[in-house]
Structure 1
Amino acid sequence: MRIHKNLLSLLIVSIVLINTTACSQRISALNDTLKLAFIGDEDTQLSTQQVNNIPYASIYARIDDIPQAFIVLALAEPKFTLTSTPTVTELKWLSADKAMLVTVNGRLVRTNNLLTGDLVSVESNKPDPILLGLHLDSTPKTWTRTIDWQPGYHFGYSVTSHFNFVGLENILINDIQTQAQHYTEVVSVEHLNIQYQNEFWLTPATGNVIKSRQKITPNQPFIEITLLKPFAS
C-alpha cells in the first residue's frame, strides 16, 4: 500500500495558472477547486457540474491499477518539430509535487519526476499519425520514431508502431456516454525484443484523443488518461 500511495501522490491535482491573464482570477475559486481532490484508496470522481465549473482543462490519470486522480492543465506551449505541419501544442499537466505529464493530442511525449522513471524525448522525421488524425483514410497507419528514457542510459531506441481500428464504442466521459473510435497501437522495440499494445479512443468527427492507455517506455507501467475538459486554444 505504501508504494500505491507514493505513485498516487504523483498525480494529485495541481492548480497552476495557465497564463498571466489568469492571475486576476479569484483565489477563492482556486481554493474551491483544491477541495475537490483527495488522496485515498478509491478513485477521485467529480460530477459533471464540478468539472464544468472549473475554469481549466482537466483529465483523470491513473498509473496501472492505482486509483485515478484529477489533474488540471498547467501550461500549453507550441513546440517546434522537424515537420512544419500540423502545428504542435504541448499540454503540460503538473502535479502538486512537480511530477509532470506532457501530451500532444493525447499522446504522452514526455514526463518528469515520475517515481518509476521518465520519458525524456520522442523524435521522428514523420508526424505522429495520432496528430494527423487516425480517423482519416489518408493517415499512415505505421510510425517509426526514437525514444530516450531514464533511469539508465536509454537513448536513441528505435520504436515502430502499427495502428489498427477496433471499432466504434460507447465510453463514459465525465458521466456522459460518448461514442468513440477505438484504435490499438502495437509498439515494437526491436533492439530489446519487446512488444506491447497501447490503446486510444478518438472523437469520430475530429480524431481528437479523449481516452488512452499507453506506456511511456517499454519497462514502465501503463498510464491511463481520460480527457474531461479539453484545452481551448
Structure 2
Amino acid sequence: MHIHKKLVSLITLSLVLLNTTACSQRIGALNDTLKLAFIGDKDVKLSTQQVNDIPYASIYAQIGDMSQVFIVLVFAEPKVSLTQVPTTLSTELKWLSADKGMIVTVNGRLVRTHNNPTGDLVAVESTEPDPIMLGLQLASTPKTWTRIIDWQPGYHFGYRATSYFNLVGQEKILINDIPTQALHYSETVLVDDLNIQYQNEFWLTPETGNVIKSRQKIAPNLPFIDISLLKPFAS
C-alpha cells in the first residue's frame, strides 16, 4: 500500500473516531500515534506509554505472513443472535484498521471480518453458547462446541464446525510489554464436510476467562489471524 493511500485512510479513521466519542481533546495525540502505527510496511510496535496514551481500546493483529498492524476499537454493540439460546447476550467489538479493514470479536472470538485481502468470515451462528463466552477456566463450562460458519470468496455457506477445547497449561506472556499470567487453551476444529482440521489457540486471564491473546483461523481455507489485546474495552 502506498504512503499516500495510508494517509487518506488515516484521516478517514481519525474522523470516524472523532464522530464516535464526545472526548476530542486528545485527537491530536491520537493522530501522532496513528502515524507511527500505520506509515511503513514493517511490523508495528508501539511503546507501552504510546498505547496507554491513546484513549481507545486497542489490539495488535497479524494475518498470515502479513505485517503486524495496530487497530483501535470504534464500536461496541450488544447483540443477541437469532439462532443462539435466548439468554446469551454478547457484545460485539468492532476494530477498524487504517486501510478500512475491520475485524469483529466477541470476548476474543473472531466472528466476522470485512475488507480482508485474503477473504472474509461472513458469519458464525450456533444454538449453543460459545465456551469462550462462558469461561473456559470454569469446570462447569462445556469443552465442545458446534456452530455454522459462512465465508468468502466462493460460495461457502452453512458449513458445520465442531470444536474440542483442551488446557495446555499456565504460561507467562507479554501484553503491552507487561509480563502477564495466562491460561493457554487449544481448540481443535473439525469441518467434516471438507475433511479439514485445524487448531486455534487462546490465552485467557485466569480469574476472568477473558481472552487476551489468540491465534485463530479466519475460515477453513483462509489464513490464521494473531490478535493481542493491548488495552481492553471498558464497558
Q: Same fold (TM over 0.5)?
A: yes
Contact 2:165 2:186 survives alignment (8 Å): yes
Q: How far apart are 1:194 and its partner, in Å?
A: 0.2
Q: Equivalent of 2:147, from 135, 145, 148?
A: 145
Taking the aligned partners of 1:84 and 1:131, their CA distance within structure 2 comes to 14
Aligned counterpart, 2:114: 112
Give me the whole-angstrom Cα distance separating, in 2, the residues matched to 1:25 and 1:132. Answer: 38
Which stretch shows the higher mean deviation, 32-41 or 161-170?
32-41
Distance in 2, Cα, partners of 1:207 & 1:127: 15
1:68-122 CA distances to partner (integer Å, 9 max, x unpaired)?
1111111111111222334200000112232110000111000111111111101
Q: Map residues 47-86 of structure 1 onto 2, 5 A cutoff.
A: 47-81=47-81, 82-86=84-88
Q: How far does the alpha carbon of each residue in 1:157-216 deviate from its partner, in whole angstroms, 9 at most, with x for none?
A: 000000000000010111111110000000000000000000000000000000000011
CA displacement, residues 12-45 of structure 1 (integer Å, 9 cap, x when unaligned): 8744328644364444233223223134343211
**CA deviation string 1:109-140 (max 9, x = no partner):** 00111111111101100110001100000000
SS where residue 22 of structure 1 aligns? coil
Please tell me the residue identity of whatever aligns with 1:60. Answer: Y
Mapping of residues 116-131 of structure 1, within 5 Å? 116-131=118-133
**What's the RMSD between the two structures over aligned residues?**
2.0
Q: Partner of 1:32: helix, strand, or coil?
A: helix
| TM-score, normalization by structure 2 | 0.89
Structure 2: gaps of 5 or more residues: none
Q: Tell me, yes or no, if the aligned pair for 1:86 and 1:131 is still in contact at 8 Å.
A: no
The correspondence of residues 1-233 of structure 1 with structure 2, limited to 5 A, is 14-15=13-14, 16-17=16-17, 20-22=20-22, 24-81=24-81, 82-233=84-235
Contact 1:17–1:23 (CA<8 Å) still a contact in 2? no
Letter of the structure 1 residue corresponding to residue 107 of structure 2 = N
Amino acid at match of 2:227: I
What percentage of aligned pairs have identical amino acids? 74
CA contact (8 A) 2:188 2:199 kept: yes
5+ residue gaps, structure 1, are none
Q: Which residue identity does 2:220 align to in structure 1?
A: P
- State the AA in 2 paired with 1:64: G
Which one is further off, 112-121 or 20-29? 20-29
Distance across 2 between alignment mates of 1:93 and 1:141: 28
Q: For residues 106 and 216 of structure 1, do their structure 2 counterparts lie closer, same or farther at Cα, with a shift above 3 Å needed?
A: same
**Which segment drifts farther, 93-102 or 174-183?**
93-102
Letter in 1 for 2:89: T
Query: TM-score, normalised on structure 1?
Result: 0.90
Which one-letter code corresponds to 2:176 in the other structure?
N
